[in-house]
Amino acid sequence: MGRLDGKVAFITGGARGQGRSHAVMMAEEGADIITLDLCEQVDSVEYPMATPEDLEETSRLVEKTGRRIVARQADVRDFDAVSEVLAEGLSELGRLDFVLANAGIMAMLGEQGRQRRAFYDSVDVLLTGVFHTCEAAIPVLIEQDQGGAIVITSSTAGLKGLAPNRKVAASGYLGYTAAKHGVVGLMRAYANALAPHRIRCNTVHPTGVNSPMVVNDAFARFIEENPEGTVGMINALPVELLDVSDISKAIVFLCSPDAQYITGVTLPVDAGLCNK
């Protein structure tokens, strides 16, 4: 018997990385899944983004657990598209319990990351996309009147200013940092506004994670060209990168009955980075 039996989770950015891990682990705990991912390239992002084949693999892995999944291509920057995927999932799966606003980009690498477009794209995906996700789902949770949980993926960059100099703090980095701080404000406002409806809202703040967003040639070049940029990103515990499952465990906990009175929290899963 799983901790999330009979529940349904809506997850953005589910094609690979953390989003896929969240979908599979929640399915293993008994939840059905509604997920979406852009599965296209954003011009300001230098590394290869997820593909339709990645999203199909997430579906296969969830179905392997015996749970159901509705997985579609959609852009979190498009509120109507997000709402349509959620509506389709609700039609098939019947309810909604958890919202994981996870979709993200790292538009700070290479020449693209130095252009103003990278700032706008970062804010559009990482902040406006979270707003769209929450606003599409919250009316459903309120109407059901059965409580629920929202978990927003922020970052250690949502708690600290990690850039050591102007070279690193170019447009994309500034947009990423501003958006990851911005979702903390959204979370705190939602946590208060939704508490009367027994809907909890928290943010999770990972350090570096072993996922395609970080483990790629573009990020490796960024580190090689900006070695000073890693000084503020070294964990206190002796681990370089966390596994995606480490973040999923925290998110499953925040959605589970074990966390029924936890709301308005910024939870670092950061191997002690923010304590330094």
CA dist 119 and 227 (Å) reads 22
Q: Are 77 and 132 in contact, with CB atoms under 8 Å apart?
A: yes
Radius of gyration of the chain (CA): 18
- Strand order in 98-101's β-sheet? 69-73, 32-37, 8-12, 98-101, 148-153, 199-206, 266-269
| Catalytic option among 47, 173, 176, 190 | 176
Beta-bridged to residue 202, according to DSSP, are 151
Q: Are 41 and 85 in contact, with CB atoms under 8 Å apart?
A: no
> Catalytic site residue 47?
no
CA dist 188 and 190 (Å) reads 5
Scanning the structure block, which residue is given the tokens 């599979």? 24
User: In what helix (H) or strand (E) does residue 10 lie, and over which residues does it extend?
Assistant: strand 8-12
Active site residues per annotation = 176
